Amino acid sequence: MENKLFAQTPPVRLFFLAAIPGAISMLASSLYGLLDGVFVGQFLGETAFAALNLAFPFVIINFSLADLIGVGAAVPIAISLGRKQEEEANNIFTCACILIVGTGAVIGAALYAAAPGLMRLMGAEGELARLAAEYMRVYALCSPVTTIVFAMDNFLRISGKIRGSMALNIFMSAISAVLEFVFLYIFRFGVWGAALATCAGMFLCAVITFAVFARGRLTLRFTRPHFHAAMIRQIAACGTPNFLSNIAGRITSILMNMVLLRLGGESAVSIYGVLMYADGVVQPILYGVCDSLQPAVGYNWGAGRRDRVRAIERCCFTAGASVSLLAAVAVFLFPAQITGLFVQDLDAAFLETAVFALRLFSAAYLTKWIGFAAQSYMLAVEKPVYATMISVSTAFVFPLLLIVAFWPLGLTGIWLNFAATSALAAALAGILLTRFRGEMRRMDKAESAQNIG
């Protein structure tokens, strides 16, 4: 099924078959992320909302190592299938699942122990620090049984079960939203109830997906694991761009929160949270479009079909641009409405600052799609160094440099940081894409000469 889908389906039709369900599934996840912030802000108040935003970068770090393995395994699995190496693909799949569960236990235990100290280190005190640590510890405890779910989503798509992947994400988002409403509104749990609802939904979907693969009827099957150094190096190389992007992005968020606490206090952290939740709706859709096409790109790259690789990526870049431009317009036109979703009892000064911040933030989407699509492309065609350069620069290097450069502007400099980072990332992506096109032209000429010979 996946051979015919990835190898024979016309690129535009393949885009609609793969990317649209991927975007829908990520939209479901992003809408749940939006509801998560709304429920916490409306039911528990501004302090709980600020605590969630302080803790959330560490929650993402908790998932980052699992994401390294899941994404890092997905690329060589797709390429191995394109080369007709099914046994190697199944071995990578099995080993990756074992590695994710093991690392989830180790990282979760470390974050659980470190949670209170990390919040104090960030400058949080009293109720804010207590709630943030409480929220983070629930995710840490559940880490061994939840971190696998996103990797399993990738593996379903590689197996050609694109609609099944979409259904899984929609179900996970729906059940998590229902549980969070019940926990916060009916049972009156604290902020820890929000984390527990998400973890419960993830665990349930992880169990369902494991059961589907255990039946042995999909392209990928569990097999007797054989760990070897070459496989681990390949997983690490392909997963490093996403891993470093996640880690660097969370470090940047932590630094941003520390700066915001100093410059504007709890209110500034809350406004930053509004920006991140707005981005949390858009970025997963971009990710869904690009990531859903990665198995097809990797398969055709492994099969030597570079003409199809280029055609598929043209669809990816076009869709990314369309999503980003629509997001820029929406955020610019409706900043007050977006702010009101998350924060109760808005005073005039808070709302004025939030509207100003969101309108500056909206400019980031004019160029954000370029770096995002280019990173996904480079990862799918085994160019992890290029992908890493884009991801780390976007998530850490450019924002950090711009914090220093815009420091005299105060909070305005923080709000400008996002648009300036996206523009610099787009410029870097353009340079690397130009270099890669040159490499592909040389590869095509070399193959033509070999065929003539």
Tokens of 383: 């160019």
User: Rounded to two decimals, what is the model's pTM?
Assistant: 0.72
Q: Find the mean pLDDT for residues 9-33.
A: 82
What are phi and psi for residue 334, nearest 5 degrees?
Answer: -125, 50
Q: Find the mean pLDDT for residues 51-71.
A: 86
Q: Coil, strand, or helix at residue 224? A: coil
Residue 299 is predicted with a pLDDT of 85
Angle between helices 229-302 and 384-392 (to 10 degrees): 100
pLDDT-based confidence at 32, cuts 50/70/90? confident
Residue 114 is predicted with a pLDDT of 95
Burial 315-353 (b: 16+ CB within 10 A, else e): bbbebbbebbeebbebbeeebeebbbebbeeeeeebbeb
Q: Compute the distance between CA of residue 149 and CA of residue 131 in angstroms, rounded to an integer.
A: 26
Tell me the per-residue pLDDT of 100-138, one tens digit each, with 9 for 90 and over: 999 999 999 999 999 999 999 888 889 999 999 999 999
Residue 29 is predicted with a pLDDT of 79
Tell me the per-residue pLDDT of 415-427, one tens digit each, with 9 for 90 and over: 999 999 999 999 9
pLDDT-based confidence at 407, cuts 50/70/90? very high
Angle between helices 411-452 and 384-392 (to 10 degrees): 170
Structural domain containing residue 308: 2-452
Length of the chain measured in residues: 453
Burial 177-201 (b: 16+ CB within 10 A, else e): bebbeebbeeeebbbbbbbbbbbbb
pLDDT-based confidence at 448, cuts 50/70/90? low
Residue 178 is predicted with a pLDDT of 96
Tokens of 126: 């009293």
Q: How big is the CA angle at 435 (ends 398 and 324), to the nearest 5 degrees?
A: 50
pLDDT at 280 over 90: no
pLDDT at 242 over 90: no
Average pLDDT, the chain: 88
Q: Compute the distance between CA of residue 57 and CA of residue 249 in angstroms, rounded to an integer.
A: 8
Closest CA to 422 of 334, 304, 347, 321: 321
Q: Compute the distance between CA of residue 2 and CA of residue 218 in angstroms, rounded to an integer.
A: 10
The total of other beta-carbon atoms located within 10 Å of residue 163's CB is: 14
Q: Coil, strand, or helix at residue 200? A: helix
How many folded domains does the chain comprise? 1
What are phi and psi for residue 83, nearest 5 degrees?
Answer: -90, 5
Residue bearing the bigger pLDDT, 299 or 213: 213
CA dihedral 174, 178, 183, 186 (to 10 degrees): 170
Q: Find the mean pLDDT for residues 63-81.
A: 87
Tokens of 391: 């991801």
Contact present, 9 and 312 (Cβ < 8 Å): no
The total of other beta-carbon atoms located within 10 Å of residue 130's CB is: 17
